[in-house]
Amino acid sequence: MNQNRLEENLNEYLHNLGSMFSSSGGNPDLKKYKQIDMRIRQTVLERAKYRCQTCSIKFTPNIQPKFQHVNGSIKDNRPVNLKALCSTCFKLVEKNERVDPLTRVQNIMKKVFNKK
């Protein structure tokens, strides 16, 4: 399968990239996470098993992952604060970044149910 091969290549690539970074070590302070770098992407994507964490669609070159900030702070790019989403699901939460989680969920539900 094409997709599996792609995932293998991506895994290998990210693994190599990750080992490049790992030597730097250090404490996970927020300054280090100003940007969502490849290493953070790797961690989040691996955790999400390369699927959208909302609708479970598999990421491909055509479906690029977007990253939602779980606690709403766009400056907090620690992997634990990031959720891998497809662009469709990201659109639903994008506007709600910085809004409390319950309101966010309610907004998503509203949109989902109003779509019909």
Q: How far apart are CA 14 and CA 2, in angstroms?
A: 18
Q: How far is the CB of 51 from Zn ion (least distance, A)?
A: 8
* The residue to which tokens 């790992």 are assigned: 22
Nearer to Zn ion, 33 or 90 (CB): 90
Nearer to Zn ion, 30 or 55 (CB): 55
Give me Rg for the CA atoms of the chain. Answer: 15
Nearer to Zn ion, 65 or 79 (CB): 65
Q: How far is the CB of 110 from Zn ion (least distance, A)?
A: 17
Q: How far apart are CA 30 and CA 54, in angstroms?
A: 26
Nearer to Zn ion, 48 or 52 (CB): 52
Q: How far apart are CA 95 and CA 8, in angstroms?
A: 33
Q: How far is the CB of 92 from Zn ion (least distance, A)?
A: 9
Cβ atoms of 76 and 69 within 8 Å: the answer is yes
Cα dihedral angle (14, 33, 91, 9), rounded to 10 degrees?
A: 0
Chain contacts with Zn ion (rule: CB under 5 A): 52, 54-55, 86, 89
